[in-house]
Amino acid sequence: MSKIAIYYKKPTSETIRFAARELKRCLEIMTDESLDIHPCTTFPDNNKPAIWIGEPSDFNNIIPSNNLDDEILVTQNYGVCMITGSNPRSVLYAVYELLEKFGARWIGPGKEGEYLPKAKLDNITKIDVHHHASYRHRGVCIEGAPSIKHTLDMIDWMAKKRMNTFLLQFKTSIFFWRKWYSHSYNERFMKPVDIDESVSLEMDDQVIKALEKRGLILHRVGHGWTAESIGIKGIGWDRFDGEVTPQQKALMAEINGERGLFHGIPINTELCYSNNQAFEGLVNHVVEYANEHKEIDCLHFWLSDAPNNFCECPECRKLSQSDHYVKLVKAVSKKLKEINIKTRIVFLCYTNTLSAPVTEKIEIDVDNVVFMFAPISRCYIHHLTYKDCESGEKADGWELNKIQPPHTNEAFVEILRKWQKRYDGDSFIFDYYLWRPLHDYLNPLGLARIIHKDMQDLMQLGLNGHVSCQVLRCFYPVGLVMDAMAETLWDRGVQFSDIVNENLKAIFTDEADIVLNYLEELNKILSPESGHVGTLRSGNAERINSLIAILDKWEPYISSLSDSKNSYNLMHYHKLLRFRALSSFHEAKGEKEKASAYIDMMIDYLKRTERRTHRYLDTWMEMHTVGRA
Ligand SMILES: [Zn+2]
Ligand SMILES: [Zn+2]
């Protein structure tokens, strides 16, 4: 018989039953004791040590219930450890945070990423926690080339690190599933598997079930509406090979005197929004989809994914791009309210809509929308609020279809401030740290530091969280970047050094300080002293040569590491970085053939080693970053 049993009141949600099972599973591994789970109608009053787990209503509303904002409470009372949270998802977070205080670490995806050291079960009754999440939105958006297993492992990790949101892009995420399952970027890794739309939708459903099990928040779609609303498929960046009818053409944006698909790609095409049929058709299409998909908490209503493709007809010219967009968003919001659909609509500041609206405003009564700030071309060498990250770029005032998105951060903050004058409701940033920047600059420590600072600053920027547009295999060479994101969104007071030390200690134990020195020395040289791009892209041969010298200096240490699962990724990273550095060095000296030969070697290495790295590194994205996929 175990010393401590876990109780929850029945009936309860799937998420709380899962939370109880997770607590039992991890505690049994950590303590070598067995724990029973007892569903009960009332909690036992027998003075025996116990763990009680449930929603606030099970505990006389000791904290308020709240579906949007996460709060957790672990408190001890006469030998009873009581675990609760503001909603079922938060109860699960309370379990994971309790396990962390007990010594657990979640250093990578899936069970393999669990670090569960031995501990004494009695100590569970000495832990108190009370915390409000610093931000409402703490999410990840699907990108890159993931398998369903990679994705489910990522969602599992996200819940452990108290992230709460997942965005499945497009009406089905087939574009991303196909990248993995066709595996055309590395045919020697696996046989291609054909994914049609029904298989893709089944995979989406598996993702949604995994989110529901944990009480996480589902976001869906994004781009594609403009094409879909006029009957053309828009579920990826593919070219359209069918026939566009004259009726469809008449609804599309007119550019340089002509209407049609923008460079042949449906999702990159805008419509003629002053055309009532195009406007109403788009609005109704979004509303109908929301009505058919009540599983979606937040439906992303984005326009096309290309810049400078807005309609130039005389009627459309009367309003700015963002004014057209806000009119569409408000029309969708109004119709959803009329038919009593609770889904919230996410709209964004991005490419065509960088400039704030001029005539339109979104008033406080439009309370079923969320604003998303997506500074895709920003600088990732500096944090967002760094004052000297500026180069005199414009923050608005571009002529129609002549927008030049900034590459420095001061202009982006100005863009955000201007939008906030037209709307001050719920909002989050949608950023791209683990899309190309990590793979391009290969500076995990530097990027983690930028993320930590940015996530701290979101509050002063008036943004209530972050949804990260990123690959789902993102623990390369270590999970430091993800850790910094998740930890700081959960608690913006967390110290960066604590995040780094805890992460590296769990992976490298006694060697953690040496690995930190290695990453720190690389960080100093990978992030340039001036400029806004990483050293590998700087074209500065002298600086790249210093990078190669640092890699040489560390070569004996890296070679001395064992081939264990914890060290392998670091050894792999060291080698990959050397190929990239040598290529960049020759590129900077104008030696194109030599530069290309090192990229060939790097690609071959990535392909040969994908079997070992695929859970941690998105090989497709790394290849894509150097133009080879
Ligand atoms: Zn027009
Ligand atoms: Zn900068």
98 & 230 share domain: no
Specify the CATH number for the domain of residue 300: 3.20.20.80
Q: Tell how far the Cα of 469 is from the centroid of ligand 2, in angstroms.
A: 20
| C-alpha–C-alpha distance, residues 150 and 494, integer Å | 28
Instruction: Say how many Å lie between the CA of residue 270 and the centre of ligand 1.
Output: 9
pTM of the shown model: 0.98
Length of the chain: 629
Claim to verify: residue 62 and residue 162 sit in the same structural domain: no
Supply the pLDDT for residue 81. 97
Of 215, 230, 206, 87, nearest to 142 by C-alpha is 206
The DSSP-derived string for 24-55 is HHHHHHHHS----EEEESS---SS--EEEE--
Query: What is the model's pLDDT at position 564?
Result: 82
Closest listed ligand to the CA of 382: 2
Report CA(389)–ligand 2 centroid distance (Å).
4
Q: Which amino acid is at 230?
A: I
Q: How far is the CA of 390 from the centre of ligand 2 (A)?
A: 7
Ligand nearest to the CA of 253: 1
**DSSP character string of 545-564:** HHHHHHHHHHHHHHHHS--S
Q: Among 613, 624, 611, which residue's Cα sits nearest to residue 575?
A: 613
Residues 493 and 535 in one domain: no
129 Cα to the center of ligand 1, angstroms: 56
128 and 141 together in one domain? no
Tell me the CA–centroid distance for residue 307 and ligand 1, in Å: 16
Residue 233 CA to ligand 1 centre (angstroms):
22
Name residues with Cβ closer than 5 Å to ligand 2, which is an ion: 379, 381-382, 389, 532
Domain end (from 473, 500, 527): 500
Q: How far is the CA of 399 from the centre of ligand 1 (A)?
A: 16
- CA 534 to centroid of ligand 2, rounded, Å: 10
Q: If you measure from the C-alpha of residue 387 to the centroid of ligand 2, how many angstroms do you get, rounded to a whole number?
A: 9
Residue 253 CA to ligand 1 center (angstroms) comes to 6
CA 325 to ligand 1 center in whole angstroms: 13
CATH of the domain at 81: 3.30.379.10
Q: 137 CA distance to ligand 2 centroid (A)?
A: 25
The rounded Å distance from CA 626 to ligand 2 centre is 22
Q: Do 329 and 343 belong together in one domain?
A: yes
User: Which mean pLDDT values do the consecutive 10-residue runs of the chain (629 residues) have?
Assistant: 87 97 98 97 92 97 98 96 98 98 96 95 95 98 98 98 98 98 96 97 98 98 98 96 97 98 98 98 98 97 98 98 98 98 98 97 96 98 97 94 97 98 98 98 98 98 98 97 98 98 95 97 93 96 98 97 87 98 98 98 98 97 97
CA-only gyration radius of the chain, Å: 25
Nearest ligand, measured from the Cα of 316: 1
Structure token pair of residue 176: 């991303």
Which of 500, 524, 547 is the last residue before a domain boundary? Answer: 500
Helices assigned H by DSSP within 475-540: 480-490, 496-508, 512-526
Give the residue among 610, 569, 603 at the shortest CA–CA distance from 444: 569
Q: How far is the CA of 414 from the centre of ligand 1 (A)?
A: 29
- One domain, residues 484 and 570: no
- Domain total in the chain: 3
Distance in Å, CA 451 to ligand 1 centroid: 40
Task: Compute the distance between CA of residue 520 and CA of residue 515 in angstroms, rounded to an integer.
Answer: 8
Chosen domain end from 500, 532, 548: 500
* CA-to-CA separations, 337 to 103, 393, 424, in angstroms, rounded: 47, 40, 20
Q: Report which bound ligand comes closest to the CA of 391.
A: 2
Give the ligand at the shortest distance from the Cα of 387: 2
CA of 558 to the centre of ligand 2 (A): 31
Identify whether residues 144 and 273 lie together within a single domain. yes
Ligand minimally distant from the alpha carbon of residue 276: 1
Helix or strand (DSSP H, E) at 430: strand 427-431
Contact 521, 577 (CB under 8 A): no
Buried b vs exposed e over 434-473: b needs ≥16 C-beta within 10 Å? bbbbbbbbbbbbbbbbbbbbbbbbbeebebbbbbbbbbbb
pLDDT at 565: 75
One domain for residues 50 and 168:
no
Q: Which ligand is nearest to the CA of 527?
A: 2
323 and 273 fall within a common domain: yes
The rounded Å distance from CA 376 to ligand 1 centre is 27
Q: Which range of residues forms the domain containing residue 556?
A: 506-625
Ligand 1 centroid – CA 278 distance (Å): 9
Pair (85, 168) in one structural domain: no
Q: Name the 3-class secondary structure at 364.
A: coil
C-alpha 446 – ligand 2 centre gap (Å): 13
Q: Which ligand is nearest to the CA of 318?
A: 1
Q: Are residues 113 and 141 in the same domain?
A: no
Is the omega angle on the peptide bond into residue 109 within 30 degrees of 0, that is, cis? no
Residue 501: count other Cβ atoms within 10 Å of its Cβ: 14
Which tokens in the block code for residue 305? 């994914």
Same domain for 464 and 384, yes or no, is: yes
